[in-house]
């Protein structure tokens, strides 16, 4: 974690600003001092703003709940705590503003839910295909690892867990098991379309929701 602003440590920067304020209160602050203090204060503020998402990330990695973080962040709910984090943290996917990051995260979750529902509604088809894939023999060691992951997911209760490992087998099956690879591709394309439809539905409904609430996302 960086702890400097303008060449000062955070403690030094804060002491400098406090010193200028003290002199100003006594009528001894100069224009140069005030400009310097404001510059250091801006840099310190930027440093502090970068610390918050870093600390939140560390807390989440330590399994601290959003509900427990909310009071520390000065908000009243777990949803507000997560929203604050999404506004502050750097984007991994190109969103430029905090609101865009909040919306992107909500869209992803909505898409995940839609795909999971579709997978559960088509559990029999998914499990049948996963069974066929997991029984394929004579593959390379690398391909076999991907097929084995399908077998592991097949043992779990949630059929939605089958989709990622199944999708990963397509490349490794298409040369030697073209028909099976085509079935895998068809199912994963359907899942992609379900996610796209969810995204489009949310995009179409967002403007109306913003007009009602005054808040995007």
Q: What is the pLDDT of residues 153-203, one digit of tens each?
A: 988 889 899 999 999 999 888 888 999 999 999 988 888 888 888 877 766
Where is pLDDT greater, at 130 or 46?
130
Whole-angstrom CA distances from 54 to 2, 89, 158 are: 11, 8, 33
- Final residue belonging to a domain, choices 45, 62, 90: 90
Residue 202 sits in the same domain as residue 114: yes
Question: Any alpha helices (H) in the chain, and if so which ranges?
Answer: 10-25, 31-61, 66-73, 78-88, 98-121, 123-134, 141-154, 163-173, 178-213
Looking at the predicted structure, is the pLDDT value of residue 64 above 80?
yes
| Span 49-59, pLDDT tens digits | 788 888 999 99
Residue 179 sits in the same domain as residue 120: yes
Range of the domain at 194: 109-206
The number of domains in the chain is: 2
pLDDT for position 203: 64
Residue 80 sits in the same domain as residue 134: no
Residue 130 sits in the same domain as residue 84: no
Side-chain half-sphere exposure of 61, counting CA atoms within 13 A: 6
| Structural domain includes residue 16 | yes
| Structural domain includes residue 98 | no
| Structural domain includes residue 64 | yes
- Answer whether 132's CB lies under 8 Å from 151's CB: no
CA-CA distance, 184 to 174, in Å (whole number)? 10
């Amino acid at each position: 974690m960086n702890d400097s602003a303008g060449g000062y440590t955070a403690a030094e920067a804060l002491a400098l600003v406090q010193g200028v304020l003290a002199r100003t209160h006594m009528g001894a602050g100069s224009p140069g001092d005030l400009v310097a203090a404001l510059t250091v204060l801006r840099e310190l503020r930027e440093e502090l703003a970068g610390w918050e998402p870093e600390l939140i990330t560390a807390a989440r990695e330590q399994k601290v709940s959003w509900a427990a973080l909310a009071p520390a962040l000065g908000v009243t709910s777990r949803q507000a705590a997560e929203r604050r984090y999404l506004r502050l943290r750097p984007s991994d996917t190109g969103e430029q503003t905090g609101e865009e990051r909040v919306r992107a995260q909500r869209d992803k979750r909505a898409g995940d839910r839609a795909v999971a529902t579709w997978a559960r509604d088509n559990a029999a088809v998914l499990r049948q295909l996963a069974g066929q894939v997991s029984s394929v023999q004579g593959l390379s060691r690398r391909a076999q690892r991907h097929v084995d992951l399908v077998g592991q997911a097949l043992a779990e209760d949630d059929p939605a867990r089958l989709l990622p490992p199944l999708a990963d087998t397509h490349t490794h099956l298409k040369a030697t098991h073209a028909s099976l690879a085509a079935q895998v591709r068809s199912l994963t394309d359907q899942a992609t379309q379900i996610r796209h439809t969810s995204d489009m539905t949310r995009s179409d409904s967002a403007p109306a929701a913003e007009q009602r609430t005054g808040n995007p996302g």
